[in-house]
Amino acid sequence: DFETAVKVLVVGNGGVGKSSLIRKFCKGQFTDQYKKTIGVDFLEKQQFVKSIGENVTMMVWDTAGEVQSFRMDLKSSIGQEEFDAGLTSEGAGAAVLAFSTTDRDSFDTIEKWKGKVEAECGNIAMCLIQNKVDLIDRSVMTTDEAEELAARLKLKFFRTSVKQGFNVNEVFDFLAETYIKN
């Protein structure tokens, strides 16, 4: 009896809540302390996938949030040989594209992030998240703008608050189900 494992990338500009999302999903913890992520790392968690009635191991990879060095981040995470062998693109089965409610630039850069992921990983399961919806009063994009972006990029869209634990599991449930279906 085989165990299914899927490598999930979480990408988006620095400060949008990528590391927080991963820590919340995998460990159930949240902290307000900001610690800049250097390089990449991953945490894992078992996710029950209803459609197959089985657990899938989600290996969730953190990235540093620089669109320019995305390739280098992946490279340092798996080692030169594996990278040269093209294992990066073969490895990832799903990705979260994340922006923050209070950071316009993180929203405007999403299309670039999608392009980077597609260039590295091809057409994998992906979704768009607007994090920090607990700060909706300080929002720097309208609801319509966010929904239009998701529609235009053909991405399933979630609004999350990692701080409040809102919609975090739903994101990974969607990715696991979509990965299994593909």
CB-based contact 128:101 (threshold 8 Å): no
Distance of alpha carbon 110 from the chain centroid:
12
Comparing CB distances to ligand GDP, the nearer of 16 and 95 is 16
User: Under rule CB under 5 A, how many of the chain's residues touch Mg ion?
Assistant: 3
Sole binder of ligand GDP in the list 67, 135, 153, 155 (CB under 6 A): 135
Residue 162 in the binding site for ligand GDP (CB under 6 A): yes
Rounded to a whole number of angstroms, the minimum distance from the CB of residue 53 to Mg ion is 34
Instruction: Give the other-Cβ count within 10 Å of 181's Cβ.
Output: 10
Strands 54-62 and 41-49: antiparallel
Comparing CB distances to ligand GDP, the nearer of 47 and 100 is 100
Adjacent-strand bridge partners of 55: 48
Query: Which one of Mg ion, ligand GDP, none interacts with residue 132, CB within 5 to 8 A by kind?
Result: ligand GDP
Q: Residues for the chain: how many in total?
A: 182
Residue 17 in the binding site for ligand GDP (CB under 6 A): yes
Residue 69 in the binding site for Mg ion (CB under 5 A): no
Q: What string marks each residue from 25 to 64 as x (binds Mg ion by CB under 5 A) or -?
A: ------------x---------------------------
Residue 140 in the binding site for ligand GDP (CB under 6 A): no
Rounded to a whole number of angstroms, the minimum distance from the CB of residue 111 to ligand GDP is 18
Strand order across the 125-131 sheet: 41-49, 54-62, 4-11, 92-100, 125-131, 156-159
Instruction: Give the other-Cβ count within 10 Å of 68's Cβ.
Output: 8
Say how far apart CA 20 and CA 15 lie, in whole Å: 9
Say how far apart CA 47 and CA 26 lie, in whole Å: 10
Binding site for ligand GDP (CB under 6 A): 14-20, 31-32, 34, 37, 65, 131-132, 134-135, 161-163
Binding site for Mg ion (CB under 5 A): 18-19, 37
